[in-house]
Structure 1
Amino acid sequence: MLDWEKIYATRAKRMGASEIRELLKLLDQPDIISFAGGIPDPALFPNEAFQAAYNDILSGPEAGQALQYSVSEGYPRLREWIVKRMRARGIDADLGNIFITSGSQQALDYLGKLMLSPGDTALVSWPTYLGALQAFNAYEPRYDRLDLSRNVEPQAYAAAAERAGSRVKFAYLSADFANPTGESLTPMEREKLLDIADALDIAVIEDAAYRALRYEGERQKTLLAMDCERSGGIENTRTLYCGSFSKTLSPGLRVGWVCAATPIIKRLVLAKQAADLHSPTINQMAIARVAEADFEDQAEKINTVYRERRDAMLKALSDYMPAGVDWTRPEGGMFVWLTLPESMDAAALLPVSLKTAKVAFVPGNAFYADGSGRNHLRLSFSCSAPEVIDEGIRRLGAVLTEELAAVA
């Protein structure tokens, strides 16, 4: 029998199973209250709008085009809609600045492939999106902690990379309602990030997957919009904006996009031609039709529901969590981030919670490039009704209270 381990490339050793993907299997168990999967509620999908869109496409003159090979850049009508949306947010984009991907996850993979050689440094928040680490890991990078709350001089990042025989290539983060913490960057932190990128002459990858999910507070400028203002236009920017329809219209259709200067868009097109040629044309057509007709109404509908669920979770945490546990209070997104006492390990707590309370969550260490953060955990409120959230947090609070008493 072939020893496959001898055949794999060295990058394969950096690939690991997603803890979240495994936890999503718990959604099929009716007795489990799951706060694990950060996924949209399927009851809120615009099913009828998509049914009408697919019927229109397949019964009309574009049926042949919908089922045929297409251009790698993406369906022009959908890209035009995205252009208008970007321009409304202060980004002077045109069709050549928009590239369609199979979800924003594919964009992260392509950007890692294009920019990371083995040993190169990626600056990421601590914690950061697990899917980004998985996408970048295949290209064997070194990670450094991007902490905009501390007064770290840009050259400190360059010096640390140089000592490791490395070079900083980009900074990656979500400026709005980050996964896993739910936190957003302040205007000052956004400026600081761009200052760091300018000083180091690196790219900025802005993951905007949750940006449309705002429940309160003032909408902030995107990093790309700020970069356009600072640099004089999109062609002079270093920021790559990764957008997605997964959290608003449908995750299953796998449609995302990148908005950036044309040189990087051209490179991304080459990467896609080598990978899967193009994203499914019929799905792009359907997304375009539904977005044109219903996007703002759909965003308002899901925000109303998710706001209620976020509020229910924050209230339940206040009611049931023992002293010594803290949590974030996000203005949007899908997540609340808990900080437990230093003595506690959320990964060890998970099987206890599943067995005694039937409550699932994601241990925090999954979101740290170095595997630290073991006294943190992520809760998602997107798929549970308020009364279920209240019951689940009550049970989790009881587990934490008992565990804290045991180590006291």
Structure 2
Amino acid sequence: MLDWDHVFATRASRMRASEIRELLKLLDKPDIISFAGGIPDPALFPTEAFQQAYSEIFSGPEAASALQYSVSEGYLPLREWLRGEMEKLGIACTADNIFITSGSQQALDYLGKLFLSPGDTALVTWPTYLGALQAFNAYEPHYDQLSIQGNRTPESYQTAAARSGGQVKFAYLSPDFANPTGETMNRAGRVSLLSLCEALDIPLIEDAAYQCLRYDGEPVPPVLAMEIAAKGSIEACRTLYLGSFSKTLAPGLRVGFVVANSTVIRKLVLMKQAADLHSSSINQIVVARVAERIFDQQVAKIRSAYSARRDAMLKALARHMPKGVTWTRPEGGMFIWLTLPDGMDGASLLARSVEAEKVAFVPGQAFFADRSGANTLRLSFSCANEAMIEEGIGRLGRLLVAALPAAA
């Protein structure tokens, strides 16, 4: 029998199952109240609009091209529509600065492949999006903690990277309603972050998956918009903006995009040609049609639903959480981040919670590149109605009250 471990590339040892994807299996159990999966509510998908768009395509002249191979850059009318949406955000660009991917997760994988050699350093926040760590892990990097307070010097990052045998290659973060914390970086933080990347002469990957999901508070311009305003052209910018239709229209179609200078876009196109040729032609055409017709209406609908659920969870946490537990108060997105007293372990708590209280969440340790943060957890409010939120948070609070003396 072949010894598979002997022939796997060294990068395979860094491939681990997603703790979140495993927890999604709990959603199929009717007795579990799940705050685990950070996924959109399928009841809010614009099903009829998609049904109409597919029907029109298959009964019209686009049927053949929708089922045919296509260009690697992506469907041009979709890229033109995105160009208009980017302009509304202050991101002046052309369709040639936009590249369509199979979900923004593919964009993370491509950028990891494009920039990281084994031993190089990626700067990420503590905590950060687990999917980004999984995408980058395959390219064998080291991680260093990206300080959003700006209390580290560029030289300290360079020195640490050199000790690890490589260079600092990029900074990655989600500045708006981040997964997992729900927090948003203010304007001053974005300016400071850009200055750091300038000093290190590295790209900044701006993951804007939740950009549209603001419920209150003052909008902050995307980092790429701020950089374009300062430099005059996207071609002079180091920020790479990642977007997705997964949180607004539907995740199953797997349509995401990158907005960047043409040098990076050309490299990504070459990678696409080698990987999967192009993203699904028909799905891109359908997304373009649906977005043109109902995007603003759809976003307004999901903002209304999710903001009510966020408010319900914040109120339930205030009622039911014991002293010593703290949480974020996001202005948008899908997540609230809990910090438990020192000594408590989110993974152990999850096992007890599922068994005794039938409530699921995501232990926070998975979101830390150094596997710290054991006393944290992520709650998602996107797929739970207000009654479920009140009941589930009440159960979780009861469990924490019972667990706190043992942790003291």
Q: TM-score scaled to structure 2, two decimals? A: 0.99
Distance 1:257 1:407 in 2: 45
Query: Which amino acid counterpart does residue 45 of structure 1 have in structure 2?
Result: F
Q: Determine the C-alpha separation between the residues in 2 that align with 1:231 and 1:10.
A: 41
Letter of the structure 2 residue corresponding to residue 238 of structure 1: R
- Aligned ranges 1:145-224 → 2 under 5 Å: 145-224=145-224
AA aligned opposite 2:405: A
Aligned amino acid, residue 355 of structure 1? E
For 2:128, the aligned partner's letter is T
CA-CA distance at 1:348 after TM superposition = 1.0
What's 1:143 paired with? 143
CA deviation string 1:252-295 (max 9, x = no partner): 00000000000000000011111100000000000000100000
1:150, CA displacement in angstroms? 4.5
Cα distance in 2 between the residues matched to 1:105 and 1:390: 32
Aligned mates of 1:89, 1:216 — CA distance in 2 = 17
% of aligned pairs identical?
66
* Aligned counterparts of 1:264 and 1:274: Cα–Cα separation in 2: 16
Which structure 1 segments of 5+ residues have no match?
Answer: none
For 2:76, the equivalent position in structure 1 comes to 76
Cα distance between partner residues in 1 of 2:224 and 2:56: 35
- 2:262 matched to which residue of 1? 262
Q: Distance in 1 between matches of 2:127 and 2:281?
A: 35
Residue number in structure 2 paired with 1:18 = 18
Secondary structure, aligned partner of 1:169: strand
The letter of the residue matching 2:328 is T
Distance 1:63 1:264 in 2: 32
SS in 1 for 2:242: strand
- Distance in 1 separating the partners of 2:347 and 2:155: 36
Q: How far apart are the structure 1 equivalents of 2:383 and 2:403?
A: 27
Deviations 1:206-235 (A, max 9, x none): 000011001001111001101111222100
Shift of 1:406: 2.6
Cα shift at 1:163: 2.3
Q: Does the CA contact (< 8 Å) of 2:120 and 2:164 recur in 1?
A: no
How many residue pairs get aligned? The number is 408
CA distance in structure 1 between the aligned counterparts of 2:87 and 2:380, rounded to whole angstroms: 32
Unmatched segments (≥5 aa) in structure 2: none
> CA RMSD, aligned part only?
0.7
Residue identity in the other structure for 2:190: R
Amino acid aligned to 1:120: D
**Consecutive aligned runs of 4 or more in structure 1 exceeding 2 Å deviation:** 405-408
What SS does structure 1 have at the residue aligned with 2:2? coil
1:39 shift after superposition = 0.1
Whole-angstrom distance in 2 between the partners of 1:396 and 1:12: 37
Aligned residue for 1:252, secondary structure, equals: helix
- Give the aligned partner of residue 300 of structure 1: 300
Query: How far is the alpha carbon of 1:160 from its aligned partner?
Result: 1.4
Supply the distance in 1 between the matched residues of 2:346 and 2:151 (Cα, whole angstroms): 30
Q: Within the alignment, does 1:95 sit opposite 2:95 as a pair?
A: yes
The CA deviation string for residues 174-227 of structure 1, in whole angstroms up to 9 with x for no partner, is: 010000000000100000000000000000000000110010011110011011
Letter in 1 for 2:284: Q
The reply to whether residue 9 of structure 1 matches residue 12 of structure 2 is no
- Distance in 2 between the 1:362 and 1:149 partners? 26
Distance in 2 (alpha carbons) for counterparts of 1:44 and 1:402: 37
Residue aligning to 2:237: 237
SS of the counterpart of 2:213?
coil
SS in 1 for 2:228: helix
* Partner SS, residue 169 of structure 2: strand
TM score, norm. by length of structure 1: 0.99
Structure 1 distance, partners of 2:18, 2:377, is 15
| Residues 188 and 243 of structure 1, relative CA distance in 2, 3 Å threshold | same
